[in-house]
Amino acid sequence: MPAQHGPRRARIAFSDAAAKQLENITSEVELHALDRALVVLSVDPDVGTPIPGTSTGPQLRQYTDDIEHVRILYFVTALRTVVVVAYIEV
C-alpha cells in the first residue's frame, strides 16, 4: 500500500531586505520562533491577513504569531508554490 503524504508545502524565499534581516538574527530562541512561523506559512500561505494596497502586484499579506512574537510580511506567487518573505520582525 503506498504511503499517504500530507499536503504539498509552498517553498519559502526571501527578498533581499528580509535576507539581510535574517542574517542579523543571532538568538536561537528567535530563530526557532521564526522557523515555526515559516512552517505555518509553507503549509497554509493564506493564513495571514491581506494588507490593503494596490491591485497591480501580488497581494501583500501579514502573518502575526502573538505567542512567539513574530510578524512576517509576505506574498504568494500565482501558482501558490512559493511564499516570498518581504519583512521579518522577531
pLDDT the model gives residue 78: 84
Question: So what's the pLDDT on residue 2?
Answer: 59
The C-alpha atoms of residue 87 and residue 71 are separated, in whole angstroms, by 8
Q: What is the pLDDT of residues 1-11, one digit of tens each?
A: 555 666 789 99
Structural domains for the chain: 11-89 (3.30.2310.20)
Task: Give the pLDDT confidence score for residue 57 in this predicted structure.
Answer: 75
pLDDT value of position 4: 66
pLDDT score at 56: 74
pLDDT of residue 31: 95
Q: Residue type for 75, please?
A: F
In this prediction, the residues of the chain whose per-residue pLDDT falls under 50 are: none
Compute φ and ψ for 63, nearest 5 degrees: -115, 130
